Amino acid sequence: LSNSVYHFGGSVDFAIFSLHVAGVSSILGAINFITTCLKGKANYILSFEFLNLFVWAMIVTSFLLVLSLPVLAGGITMLLLDRNFGSFFFLILGG
């Protein structure tokens, strides 16, 4: 995918850009879930040990999304730079 000789045209670039948009929306949704789970609990629940298992699963999954998706976005950005601006992140000739 990094060489535009085999996959030429704008369709692959638009697909890669759409992955960027999907990643940003997933990060924003994860931040929304984290905020809702941490601030939306009732006042009588003082500690996190009384939260439901679903709430714990949403918090853990959202934190993992917030931590992992920027790394994947960096890889996709390097791929776009290779395709359009001639950088050498994924090309062997660049060293």
Provide DSSP, 15-42.
HHHHHHHHHHHHHHHHHHHHHHHHHSS-
Q: Would you say residue 36 lies in a domain?
A: yes
Host domain of residue 27: 10-94
The pLDDT-based confidence of 84 (bands split at 50, 70, 90) is confident
Sign of CA dihedral 69, 70, 71, 77: positive
* Residue 2 amino acid letter: S
Q: Would you say residue 3 lies in a domain?
A: no
pTM of the model: 0.79
- For residues 60 and 94, what is the distance between their CA atoms, to the nearest angstrom? 39
How many structural domains are present in the chain?
1
Asked whether residue 67 carries a pLDDT value surpassing 90, the answer given is yes
Q: Would you say residue 2 lies in a domain?
A: no
